[in-house]
Structure 1
Amino acid sequence: MQDRPPLVLVTADVKELDTYRWHATVSTYINAVAVGAGAIPLILPSLGEDIDVDAVLDRVDGVLVTGSRSNVHPSNYAVEENDDFAPFDRERDMTTLPLIAQAVERAVPLFVICRGFQELNVAFGGTLATEIQRQPGRLDHRAPQSDDHDVRFALAHDVALKEDGVIAGIVGSPTIRVNSLHRQAVDRLADMLVLEGTAPDGTIEAVRVRDAKGFAIGVQWHPEYWVTSDEPSKRLFKAFGDAVRERQRLTQGGIAGSQAAE
């Protein structure tokens, strides 16, 4: 048991494809968990209330909440729906929002990316803004128009990290270069979150959970795409993997201790 690789839960989107409904995630996240974090990825279907989140978290050592083309439904943060907020994946919302809250409560290592970053903010009472490229003084954070993913995920702008922050400590620098593939962003930051990094236009790009009992960070960009070649991306996933292995060690130690006492 002590030598088994840790297990990391990876969130799923619900997609209509070939006349079926699929629960799936992009392979780059799966690969980043396996290669960058050194863990076994397990895809969690977005079944909402039909999943016992606590029972799932009993069986894993970490949670990765992925990006997606869909957006968090605005009803989750008390904003009226319009076409600017679409597309949606409400089944995912019903799964990830309670999953995030419970992972933090139970100190299960949590790493959230892009949509996951926005879900983290909403899960703890924050709000989102949409089509931010229309706002005065804001950069266009959307991906370049291309069928080449290397072009779409190319490093696009700097992020200034808090020099005494957790994420700056992980990547070893107060400034890093990141990619950018989003048109929504954090509007009001949840009280439970601490700002860790911003883009040149002030867009919130990185946070941690305030007073979290375990690893709990989020980024708006996509470190999973360049995890084998970009040093900050490597370091983020390595730190997540280290936290996951520590969680596994503590959990197994607790199990072993309780068995020895019986």
Structure 2
Amino acid sequence: MTKPLVAVSTDVRQFENYTWHAAPRQYLEAAVSAAGVTPVLVPSFGERLDLEGLIERVDGVMLTGSKTNVDPALYGLEATEENGPYDRDRDATTIPLIRLAIARGVPLLAICRGLQELNVALGGTLDSEIQEMEGRIDHRAPVSDDQDLRFAIRQKVEIKPGTCLAGVFGAGEIMINSVHRQAVGRLGGRLQVEAVAEDGTVEAVSVIDASAFAVGVQWHPEYWAKSDDNSARIFRAFGEAAAAHAAARGRGRIAAE
């Protein structure tokens, strides 16, 4: 009996005289501890990868957050220095991977940049620097070197009744963290809004016609997955979906203790 395998997106980074394809530990820790899955990092090599072969071998896809933004050229706008930085190698990998996961019924959890990738992959657009838009609140992290302060749970969102996340949290308000300056602009055609902030900013979406769990959240549940029940719940829901997918394909799972 084996745990579900989950493909995890990677960022391309330059440091220590190397080019790294990497993912932050918090996402991987939450995948292992809260979702109960085995994460597998997918290098951002775009069309050089056999993504169709990959999607046949995994039981879920998890897209991480990042300091980089999706290239605006992918939704019809011009890339500017102010809107960056970008990671076009990641875009070239995650956008087709998202479409394949949905088409093949592979569970998908998209976090922060991942939600934005999901929206763009399904024909939506993004708004940048939303804190400068009339009627919007500042969704960026507080300026601090203390990561716990930056990722503090401090903002309300409203979970819409009858949605996938209503089944996870119940409908109504929950408290989340907020660390973003971009947000959904025009919603992708196959998406429905799952949760909104007090200023109307889209904070979660799901794929309407997906045959498996396919949810994106703008906040960062990975950061507090060990200590905050709401943060853990979404990983447990994703892990259960991945386990069901594995079982349906005859791979089984390790039973929860």
- Confirm or deny a common fold (TM above 0.5): yes
Show the counterpart of 1:257.
none
Q: Give structure 2 stretches of 5+ with no counterpart.
A: 253-257
CA contact (8 A) 1:141 1:180 kept: yes
Other-structure match for 2:169: 171
Aligned residues: percent identity? 50
Which residue is equivalent to 1:259? none
Deviates more, 1:162-171 or 1:98-107: 162-171
Separation (CA, whole Å) in 2 of partners of 1:83 and 1:133: 18
SS in 2 for 1:159: strand
Q: What is aligned with 1:36?
A: 34
Take 1:38 and 1:173, find their aligned partners in 2: how far apart are those partners?
Answer: 25
Distance (Å, rounded) in 2 between the aligned partners of 1:218 and 1:228:
20
Q: Is the 8 A contact 1:157 1:177 kept in 2?
A: yes
The residue number in structure 2 matching 1:162 is 160
Q: What is residue 220 of structure 2 aligned with on the other side? A: 222
Matches of 2:145 and 2:42 in 1, distance apart? 28
Distance 2:138 2:56 in 1: 41
1:90 alignment partner in structure 2: 88
CA contact (8 A) 1:73 1:81 kept: yes
Deviation at 1:101, TM superposition (A): 0.5
1:79 maps to 77
Contact 2:2 2:251 survives alignment (8 Å): no
Q: 1:107 to 1:234 in 2, by over 3 A?
A: same
Asked if the contact 1:12–1:45 (Cα under 8 Å) also holds between the matched residues in 2, the reply is yes
CA distance in 2 between partners of 1:34 and 1:21 (Å): 26
Q: TM-score scaled to structure 2, two decimals? A: 0.96
Q: d(CA) in 2 for partners of 1:113 and 1:182?
A: 11
Question: In the aligned structure 1, how far is the partner of 2:241 from the partner of 2:103?
Answer: 16
Give the number of the structure whose alpha-carbon radius of gyration is greater.
1
Equivalent position amino acid for 2:153 in 1: L
Match of 2:56 in 1: 58
Conserved 8 A contact 1:84-1:130: no
Q: 1:253 to 1:47 in 2, by over 3 A?
A: closer
Kindly provide the amino acid, as one letter, of the partner of residue 2 in structure 2: R
Residue 148 (structure 2) aligns with: 150
Q: Shift of the alpha carbon at 1:233?
A: 1.1
3-state SS, counterpart of residue 166 of structure 2: helix
Report runs of 4+ in structure 1 exceeding 2 Å deviation.
none
Q: 1:253 deviation in Å?
A: 6.9
TM-score (structure 1 length as normaliser): 0.94
Distance 1:76 1:92 in 2: 13
For residues 57-98 of structure 1, the C-alpha deviation after alignment (integer angstroms, 9 at most, x for no partner) is 111110100000000000000001112210000000000000
Bigger Cα displacement from structure 2, 163-172 vs 59-68: 163-172
Letter of the structure 2 residue corresponding to residue 40 of structure 1: T
Gaps in structure 1 of 5+ consecutive residues:
255-262
Of 7, 18, 33, the residue aligned with 2:5 is 7
Q: Which amino acid aligns with 1:177?
A: M
1:83 and 1:253 mapped to 2: Cα distance?
Answer: 46
For 1:174 and 1:239, locate their aligned partners in 2 and report how far apart those are by CA, in whole Å: 18
Greater length-normalized contact order (CA 8 Å, ≥ 6 residues apart): 2
2:129 paired with 1:131:
yes
Report SS of the residue matched to 1:129.
strand
1:194 to 2:192 alignment: yes
Residue 173 of structure 1 deviates from its aligned partner by 4.2
Q: Is the 8 A contact 2:160 2:171 kept in 1?
A: no
Match of 1:102 in 2: 100
CA distance in structure 2 between the aligned counterparts of 1:58 and 1:4, rounded to whole angstroms: 16
- Return the offset for 1:30: 0.3
